[in-house]
Structures are given as structure tokens and as C-alpha cells.
Amino acid sequence: MAFAAIMLTFTACGGDDDDPVEMIQANEPGLIVKTTMGGNPFFLSSCDLAFNIDFSSKILNLGINQVTFAPRMPKINFEANGLKVTNDSRTDFTFSGTGVKVMEGYTLNNVTGRYIKDLSSLILTYTVSTERGEYGVLTFSPVLYSKLADGSYDYDNTTDRFYKFKSRIDDDDNFTASICIDNIQFVPQMPKLEEIVIPLDDATIVQTANGYKATATTIIPLFKQGDKYIPFPDRTVSNLNYELNVLNKSFTIEFDCFGLHYTDSGTINN
């Protein structure tokens, strides 16, 4: 799959595609940053992230740009270097570190992260000790995918039902989200729908330490038809209850549509 959110540069030892890849460099813009204090949701913002990995030494250097952890705190850029990559995969890898001093007055502890290249998907957690106090930080990609039953990332070529959970922070740090369900079939007698989009603009969204919850009485969904998304006011989604737990990589959802009650739960692929 091709995603605009990522630009990858591979530096190999020579021009042959079979040569071992020694370094990966990547940039991830527009990540969601959720800050907690004392385990409670505290602040929501966005940041850009860049990293490079030398697989010969299993060292990852991380650059976090335009991040802020509290209201009225200016946005800062910093580097967290010397993190350890904990597996050898070039396309799906984890990393960790602790006690990383990134600048005067800022130290990162309990750093854990996972990056999936095929999905341009990253989840990163750490605590940051500052002069203002200690914050828990959860950083995740603006699009997260539910896990396919076969464990693959081939969402373009599956007829299985799956979800895309989309989030966005605007220039005023307002949070918006939507739920996209592909290959959905409400009952066996109905054909599968290519995609239904449930925008959460008018839903009540409550931030949790590890994600968010959304409820709504009525939402007009969008149905994909060809290359267009068409609103269907006569197929409203009602009584929506939805929760995404990014840290535990789980979701639950229920709503009424087509005169039927729909409920599901599962895990996200990160």
C-alpha cells in the first residue's frame, strides 16, 4: 500500500536489491500526542517525528519536532539518540530506552515504540521529566488499522471486514476523528459494502489516558461509491458507543443502522 504520510529512504551497501539494508530513515508528520499527568488525560496536541536506524548496531536515533506537553508551553524540538532496536525486521520493528537526556531540563524514561512500515504506523510511549513536572506521553499515527485475521497487512486485497481509525489535530489543537469500516456486511442476505465512514465531528468525544471514547445519538454516515463518498441521511447511524485504546491496542464499537444493532470489538495492528 502507498501512503502519503511516509517518505522512506533506504541506504544499502551497494546497488543490488539483495544487499543488506544497513540504515532506514523515515519521517512521520502530524502524529497525535496525548499527555497525561498522574495517569489522567492532561493535554492533546500534535508533533512531527523523524528517525534513522542502523541495523548493524541496532541503534535508533529519534527526532521529535514541534511537540508540547502542556497548555501555554512552547513547542520544542529535541533528539533522543541511542535507543535500542529489539528485533531485526526492516519493516516491523520495536525499540526502547530509558534515562535519555534530550536537552537541558528534559529526560525521557520508559521509551517504547513500534513502527510498521507497510502501514506507515507508529505507536510511541515515554515519560518525560521536566522542570514543570513529569508527563506520560502517548504518540500515535493519525491512521490506525484493525488487525486482519491472517496477520497480514494486505488491506488492498482482502474481502475481510476491517477498520481504519482516523484522528486529526487542527491548527488550534482541536481533535477530530472518524471510523471507516471496509467490507462490512450487516446480515448475510445483504451484499458487502465497500466502505462506510462514520464522522465523529458532532459526537461527544471524551479523552482517556490511552485513547478516547465517542458517543452520539445520530450521525449521517458516508458510503463509498466508486471514488466518491456519498452521505446517506436515510441510513443514519444512531446510539453510537465507541472506544479506542491505543496503548492496549483494542477497540469496541456498537451502533444501530439499517434497523439493526451492530456490535464488534478487536485489536489494532500495532
At 249 the pLDDT is 96
User: Please, are residues 52 and 61 in contact by the beta-carbon 8 Å criterion?
Assistant: yes
Sheet (strand 237-245) strand order: 204-208, 211-219, 237-245, 250-257, 260-267
HSE of 222 in the Cβ direction (CA atoms, 13 Å)?
15
Q: b or e along 58-91 (b: 16 or more beta carbons within 10 Å of the residue's beta carbon)?
A: ebbebbbbebbbeeeeeebebebeebebeeeeee
Please state, in angstroms and as integers, the Cα–Cα distance from residue 160 to each residue in 148, 155, 164, 236, following that order: 7, 9, 13, 23
CATH of domain 7-140: 2.40.128
pLDDT tens across the length of the chain (270 residues): 433 333 333 333 333 344 444 566 778 889 999 999 999 999 999 999 999 988 889 999 999 999 999 998 999 999 999 999 998 788 899 999 999 999 998 999 999 999 999 999 999 999 999 888 899 999 999 999 999 999 999 999 999 999 999 999 887 778 999 999 999 998 888 889 999 999 999 999 999 999 999 999 999 999 998 889 999 998 999 999 999 999 999 999 999 998 899 999 999 998
Give every CB contact of residue 8 below 8 A, 6+ residues apart in sequence.
24, 25, 26, 117
Domain ranges of the chain: 7-140, 143-267
C-alpha cell at 78: 529535541
At 82 the pLDDT is 95
At 87 the pLDDT is 86
Q: b or e along 191-222 (b: 16 or more beta carbons within 10 Å of the residue's beta carbon)?
A: eebeebbbbbeebebebbbbbbbbebeebebb
At 23 the pLDDT is 63
